[in-house]
Each structure stands twice: as structure tokens, then as C-alpha cells.
Chains A and B, each alone.
Chain A
């Protein structure tokens, strides 16, 4: 392996990226526009649907009809009931603003918990109280309160948008570009030199990592100046996670780039992978109320683990040790993708 060769290919790819003004600008503008758009649309407020956590119940088999709760409450529109097996699990979600109200299923008095810092929790409580007799009846209720910092939707969404931008940039910036070079014969020209596939792929990956982290830094601090994001944990830890996510997503791009000479087919494959990943990895919305199988599918995507880890740090104040499972999964995925990409790579097929 020659570092000199990796370095020159790294530089060449960066020259290309920075000189392609249109795509270079878009990489910065796209996430900024998305964040700005959502900032204006939601004005810092959350969804209009209320999520009610209920325990103890089996999440996979739970039906609303089977819950031992006031009938009027169960029939109220715009409420989504999510089952939890234990009190601990339900409280964890309440603390993280993933549910608005937690209720123990069973006969009165109904024991419930709200997060005092959640405006939606306050309204969900009012709905619950009103559903009992038409007005609050203290004898039928047993209220418990917790307090955690309010999470604005924009605080929750921001890492999702950055990660989504990272995903598109990693998959297209490596997957599509390498296929284009294979199709137009540039890889064939490089094959005729002493450059090895490992050196070439390493350079592509390092260049993309550098560009992703650079873009991320600019967009993060640029948006933070305007929206003043609330970060519970360490920004440094968040960037460690972003780096690992970039590594994993870029490696995934290398697998897609390993073979093929059709840009159309590659575009289709990239869309086939990136769109489900965007919708199932909790970029835009939480999968709390989604069916179990959807949550299982989501576990296959690196973006899911990246966002879980980042939101734990950003919204819940977790440290790197707390997100070790996510770090481990991202590293394992990176290793698998890299191995597969290197094994399948062809200069000209």
C-alpha cells in the first residue's frame, strides 16, 4: 500500500468536489433549507397527534379495545395508544418526550404520569380527565409528574436532517460517482496504473469522510447560530457519532459502487435503499407507534443506529459510554460493508 497514491487520489476527488460548484453549494444549501423550512412550519412546536403510553401490556398484540381505560378516552380521535410491558420502559419514553402521557391500564383510580415540561402532555391530560365524566374527577385519578427539559421538534429533527443529508451524500458521492467513472472508462485508465483497488477505494472513502465532516461542521454551526439548538450532551460526542455514521454510510456506498456500469440502475438501487432508510430511521418522525416488524426492519439501517445514538446524546444528555451499543453496531456494519465492497469491487464490470 502506498500512502502517496491514496493521498493524490484523495486530493483529486476533493478538487473535483470543490470545483463542481452546483453540487458543492447544494450540499450546504439543502440541509439548511430543510431545517429553515421546518423551523418556520412548526415554529418549534411538535406534532398535533397525541401519543398515549399504556402499561403493562404486550406491545405486539395490544388492541385499543382490550385496554382497561375509560371508553370515552379510547374513542377520542387523534390519540395513538402505544403499549409497554413495564412502568420503567414507559417512563423512559415519557422522559424523552416520545409519548405525551403514560397510563397504567386497570380499574379506577387510574394512575397516570405526565412530563410537566411537555405542552402536549398537558393537553393530553386534559383530554384524559374530560373523558372520565365530562369533567375532571379527582377521586378516579392518581397523578404523578416528572420534569425533563422540553424538546422542540426542531431539536429532535435537526440531527435527522443532518444524518439524512449525510446519507445521500455518502451513497451518491461514492456509489454513483464510482459507477459513473466505471462507465466512462476512467477506472479502466486507473487500472492500467500501479494503483490498487484498495488504495483507490480508501482514497474515495477518506475524501468523502472529509467532505461530509466539513459540510456537517459548517451546517451545524451555521444552523445553530439561527435556531439555537438545545444540546443536553457533548457536541464533541455527537460529532464522534456523526463520524462513525459517515464511515458506515460511506462503506455502504462502496458496496453499491463495487459493481455495475449503469448509472440508471445505480440510481434505482440508491433510491431503493435510501428512501426506506429515510422514512424508517426516524429522520422525520418517531416510530414509537409503528408496528413491530417496521421497527425490526429499521434496525437493519445504519442511519437508525446513528440517529438513536445522536438523539440520546443531544436530547437525553447521554455520553459515549451510554451509546456504546450504537457505536458497536455502526462499527460492525462498517466492517461488513467494507469487506463486502472490497471483495466485490471490479474496475470495469
Chain B
């Protein structure tokens, strides 16, 4: 099957700063592909080069096996991380404006309902709350019935309820067969929404695959977390796989019973202990030694 999007050896530099460094990946139609990484990893720049907002320094981008043509803008929908819109317009009027810019478009009433904007359609878009605004921006990205949808940090700044609400909408879009590329620094978001992720750091892709496969490959068992103060001895003396991160000790183990026995025999204070199943955050941690949100 021809990938809907193929990125080959993409590099984007700003003078001496290399924001995206030799990035390559291909995306199958109908999946949700996530670019995961901390702030400044190069996710948004990668996305904006693909979207044709920025020009690449080098590399190729193929859409349906061909270089992007004039129809590309008609067939993709984009939700920017930060954007402004034409001032003084209502939600409905702004959707009307954007609808008029495209050849093939969605029914606005249906779109409003899908993005749960019925109550706010006659409200000025400047007055929307964070969650309402993100749903409105999503509606704008969907106005042209895109085959490929770009979502750049769609849930940043939202409260947990609003975030879950947005995920439900994105999952519904995904179920309709559209291909989605999203960037996020929330591992939970990537795990909830993405069929495949590429983890970026310092402009490079450091790991790629399905979230479960990445976790299986890069993490073993569970992670035991304890405050550094719980240990009397130097961490190097412990016969365990240990990492100290921001004052907390992370111990990865495939056998929790043996691990706990060892900690008890070393007289470690377990009163503040927590145990975590591995997730993409741990994948990133294991690969870089840093948290995603450091």
C-alpha cells in the first residue's frame, strides 16, 4: 500500500541551529501517527514543513507517493498549536469564511455538532474557553473534509475533562477513516490516540513503532519509584537497574518480588514507594535519561 505521506531525510535549519535533523518516516492511510517528544524536540517544525508552511532545508516529502501539488492544501486539514483568526467574527461566521476557501467542504451544522459547538456557534471566537477553542480549531481543520489531518499539540493547556472530551472527538474522526498526524508531549495522549508513534529528541527520531511495541522493546516489567532519601547507601552499590531523576530513584525490574526483597535486605525505607507500569514516558526516559516534560 502506498503511504499517504512519506518523509525522506528531512532537515530544517535556522542558521547554525538544526531544528529537524535527517528525519524519515512513512505513514499508512487511516492511522493516527504521533510525533512524541519534549518541547523543542522539533515536532512542530517537522509538522509545519510537511504542511508546507515552512520550506525544508533539505529532504523530500511525498503525499500519496508524489511531491505535494496544488491540491495538497485542499486535501489536508491543519490545527495549529498557536494561531489567531480574523477578529470580531463568531464561530459560525469563521467556519463560513474557511468553508468558502475550499472546493469540497463539510456541512457546517454537522461539523458544529461533531465538535460539540452548538451552544457557542453565535459567540465570538475570542470569547471561547480553552477547551471550546480547541474544539473550534479542530472544526476549522475539518471544514474541507480532509483526508489527512494535522493536529499540533491539540490538548495543551486543557483540563483533564476537556482533554478527554477532545480525545473522544479525535477517536471519532479516526474511526471515520481519516489519517491523523498529531504532535504531543503527553504520553497518555499518544497512547490513547496513536496507532504508531515516532519519539523525537533534539530534532531526531530516536524510536518509532506502535506504542505497545516500543514499551515492550525499551522497558522491562515495572518501575519502582522511591525518594532518594529512602536509601542510606550509594545507589551504585545496589544490584538493581537504577536511575536517579529529579531527586527520585527509578528502579526497573521484571520481577517485583525479587526487587522488593533486595530493597528490604538493604534496609531501604519503602514507606513512600510507588509502582508504575511502563509507558511511553518510560520509553523516553530509558532512551534519553530525561523526562518528557523536563
Contact = CB atoms under 8 A, between A and B. Distances in A.
A192 interface: yes
A293 interface: no
A184 B287 CA distance: 37
B1 interface: no
B85 A19 contact: no
A184 B53 contact: no
Interface string A182-197: 0011101111111100
Contacts of A16: 86-89
Interface of B: 51-53, 70, 73-74, 78, 80, 82-89, 93, 96-98, 100-103
B53 A191 contact: yes
Contacts of A194: 70, 73-74, 101-103
Contact of B96 (A8, A181, A191): A8
Contacts of B96: 8
A15 B93 contact: yes
Interface string A1-42: 000110111011101100110000000000000000000000
Interface residues of A, number: 25
Contacts, number: 63
A193 B104 CA distance: 12
13 contacts: A5-B100, A12-B86, A13-B86, A20-B87, A181-B84, A181-B86, A186-B83, A186-B84, A190-B101, A192-B51, A192-B53, A193-B102, A195-B101
Contacts of A7: 100
Contact of A9 (B52, B74, B88, B97): B97
Q: DSSP class of A's interface residues: helix, strand, loop or mixed?
A: helix
Contacts of A12: 86, 89, 93, 97
B184 to A, nearest CB: 20
A12 B87 CA distance: 9
Contacts of B100: 4-5, 7-8
Contacts of A11: 97
Contact of B73 (A19, A20, A186, A192): A192
Nearest to A6: B100
